[in-house]
Structure 1
Amino acid sequence: MVWVNQDKCAIAGVGATDYYIRGKSYPRTINEMVGEAILKACDDAGINVKQIDGFAYYSGAQMGYGDKVDTASLMEMLGIEEVGFTAALTSGGGGAAGAVGLATAAIQNEDANYVVTVMALQQYRQRLGTVFGASAPSPENSFLQPSGLVGPGHLMSVLARRHMHLYGTRREAFAEVVISQRLNAMNRPQAIRRNELTLDEYFASPMLADPLCRLDFCLETDGAVAWITTSTERARDLKQKPVLIHAAAHGGTRNWGRAFAWMGMPDPDFGSSGHKPIGDRLWQQSGLAPSDIDVALIYDHFSAMVVMQLEDYGFCKKGEGGEYVESGAIRYKGGSTPVNTHGGQLSEAYIIGATHTREAVEQLRGVAINQVKDAEFALVTGGPASLPVSGCILRRDS
């Protein structure tokens, strides 16, 4: 069944601050970075910031785990007089792609005309790498903390090891994700990591949570990214070529549930990203298949989750993600489906998934640094995390 909202809304503008190594954004405030990203997105779209009348957040409107944006405060800061919509998806980076659908719902329901989504991160107080260890005790944390599972990477390593056990996946597959994305970041001035990376250097990287080494972990960075969603009809009268929202889905199954903060999943969910129901819905909504995707922006907080998402979205069969990646299929040059052409969260910057939407828009406008020739469809995914997880398909306007 074709999605009722297919191609009726579009992303009309994107904006971003510089990206900073964790803590290096200080003395800037997070509100300052949020404001800069939103103003740049408005300028990119060719609208006045006072035309914004809706906010569609994800991660519960949290900017990381220590800051939270407030719509009223943003309205005061930006001079916005009135809004007709303000809402947020729950979870963390799992909702990154789903926020596109949330904005679409606001516009299609005629609650707002110009909806902004923004994500920012500033880690001078609490780094995300140890966030569970710093959290207050709870039924879930009381299981995790005594086990030494104090950060997302420690938890993700258990899922990665299970995938290796079930399917024979090798660390060489994780290495290929890291190395291929590093190659994509080398010519990007804003990328944090731009030095060439060899396989030997990957295997020499310190082991942080077996089988994941330091290079399997996403960057710890600060910055902000925002984008403006409006109706396709309005977007076609604006400054930039619109990028159409072709399909969007968020949710997930109870078996995935709290994901890597739970560890109660049965196989095959345990050795997965939890995204298969989202992938199934996207292909049904869009009438497309994985082979129709020209560029995939796959949430890469950890390299192993790229492998598992490629399986869950059907780019290869379950258990064959390692072989698929090792074949070179995800390479920008020579691959069948280029993945994370901006370098992703492993090499460019980690702003909780927002950089992926920015890259998808640039690819479909035809202005990306590592431009995929004639790119028409881009898949964007949200992080394998507690529900909801999410995905969307964006389309080049004809």
Structure 2
Amino acid sequence: MRRSLSDQVCIVGVGETDFVRGTDKSLTQLLTEAAVNACKDAGIHPSEIDGVINPWRYNVRCEDLVAGLGIKELKFSGRSEMGGASAIAAIQQAALAVEHGVAEYVVVATGQKGYSGPRLGGTDPRILDYNNTIMPNPEYRDNMEYPYGVMVPMQYFSLHANRWFYEYNPDPIGMQIVAMTCREHAHNNSKAYMKGRAMTEEDYQNSPMLVTPFRLFDCSLEIDGAGAVIVTSKRNAHRFKKPIYIAGIAEGHPNQPDDMPTRSDILDMGIKYAAPRAFEMAGISRDEIDFAEIYDCFTFIVLRQIEEMGFCERGEAPDFVKNGRITYGGQLPINTHGGLLSQAHIVGINHVVEGVHQLRGESGIAQVQDAKIGLVTGYGDMGDGSIAILHN
């Protein structure tokens, strides 16, 4: 019989840095700060950490956190190179490590200097070299895409988005609804970079079209910051006041995961394969989800994940998000903290942090009433997906 991770592992600490545009701190400092904050949240000394995972390709090495945290013995280290799907995939790795007794407390810490470092909105000519450090198969990118002007993520994903619009003719209003909902939710989050910065329908419609169909406000924020999550097994749960259990977790990959145009179905996404496994592990239905923190590097990615997870059929997500369904009090509140679109883009680990806060009842005026089960997703590279179903 296949052994399940369901309810064998819990998240006992979460932490973040401030989210800013402009910092003198190194990425190592940011990750260490987030990890220390997670330890404070859990009520453990950082030296108790004996496992470290740094998701995403260009982060600091696991060893770089040992001195800063005062780790006495590093028993487990790992990486997860799936772009924005990395954080949850790394939590799955951490869950396996603690459930099998390889380590007791594993910290998953990630983030980025998305504003102070090389960035798409900047003028640093090294951005294409940088892009080759975070995307799969740089040889393919160099020889088959860059010569034709396909150079950055919004261009890659526009191929997917335009095919979706061509095949299913979804209502474009769906992207605006996602953008404006995330902005409204950010106003209820003191840590959100866009708190207090209003967005009207006119603001959205008048924002520049960067790559069809993506306007400026369809794109996530360039921010400096980091987040961290501490994972342990249920045998240690008695030490903590509010452990949040992992009911189901999975990662998934599209066919030909290093490229989109050569797939038999350009709309194929890893979340389509991961979500059924996570729901099966958790033993729940989609109707039982109280809120969802859905990876939102671009507005359309939220819509497509809603479809591929089975909440509706392809092309139907814009109708699904209408009429207040994805805001507080709706059937499926999403990105209750503002998301990557309006809180901060720190590679999605802030979605996990928010999910934990919601299930502890700590989200203040952004709190989803009676939240018991939450869903968090990751999306990365050319369509990799990850998903965690959490409960209190």
Q: TM-score, normalised by structure 2?
A: 0.92
Aligned residue for 1:84? 75
| Cα distance in 1, alignment partners of residues 383 and 212 from structure 2 | 25
Q: Which residue does the alignment assign to 1:65?
A: none
Equivalent residues of 1:132, 1:149 under 8 A apart: no
- Partner of 1:338, secondary structure, is coil
In the aligned structure 2, how far is the partner of 1:394 from the partner of 1:128? Answer: 33
Which residue, 90, 96, 105 being the options, matches 1:105? 96
1:114 equivalent in structure 2: 105
- CA change 1:179–1:250 in 2 (3 A) is same
Cα distance in structure 2, aligned partners of 1:141 and 1:351: 26
Looking at structure 2, the residues matched to 14 and 311 of structure 1 have their Cα atoms a distance apart, in angstroms, of 29
| Cα deviations by residue, 1:329-381 (Å, 9 ceiling, x for unpaired) | 21223x21001000100001110001100000000001113111111111111
Q: Secondary structure at the match of 1:113?
A: coil
Question: Normalization by structure 1: what TM-score?
Answer: 0.90
8 Å Cα contact 1:17/1:223 also seen in 2: yes
Provide the C-alpha distance between the structure 2 equivalents of 1:395 and 1:128, rounded to a whole number of angstroms: 37
Q: CA–CA distance in 2 between the matches of 1:5 and 1:125?
A: 38
1:225-374 pair list within 5 angstroms: 225-238=227-240, 240-255=241-256, 257-259=257-259, 262-267=260-265, 270-333=266-329, 335-369=330-364, 370-374=366-370
Amino acid at match of 2:246: I
Establish whether residue 377 from structure 1 lines up as the match of residue 378 from structure 2.
no
Structure-2 change in CA distance of 1:359 and 1:2 (3 Å): farther
How far apart in 1 are the matches of 2:129 and 2:61?
A: 26
- Equivalence for 1:218: 220
1:35-184 to 2 correspondence within 5 Å? 35-60=32-57, 62=58, 68-123=59-114, 124-127=116-119, 131-132=127-128, 135=131, 138-184=139-185
Deviation of the 1:96 alpha carbon: 2.0
**Distance change in 2, residues 1:162/1:326 (3 Å):** farther
Determine the structure 2 residue equivalent to 1:207.
209
Percent of residue pairs bearing the same amino acid type = 34
Runs of 5+ unmatched residues, structure 2: 133-137
- Give the letter for the 1:298 counterpart: I
Q: Aligned equivalents of 1:243 and 1:109: distance in 2?
A: 19
In 1, Cα distance between equivalents of 2:384 and 2:153: 16
Change in CA separation of 1:133 and 1:322 when aligned onto 2, cut-off 3 Å: farther
What is the deviation of 1:101? 1.1
Between the aligned partners of 2:71 and 2:37, the Cα distance in structure 1 is 16
AA of the residue aligned to 2:154 = G
Checking the alignment, whether the CA contact within 8 Å between 2:295 and 2:302 is kept in structure 1 is yes
| Aligned partner of residue 165 in structure 1, secondary structure | helix
Q: SS of the residue aligned with 2:239?
A: coil
Where 2:156 maps in the other structure, the secondary structure is helix
Distance 1:13 1:134 in 2: 32
For the aligned residue pairs, the C-alpha RMSD in angstroms reads: 1.9
Contact 1:94 1:386 (8 Å CA) reproduced: no
Gaps of 5+ in 1: 63-67
Separation in structure 1 between the aligned mates of residue 327 and residue 12 of structure 2, nearest angstrom: 28
Aligned residues: 380
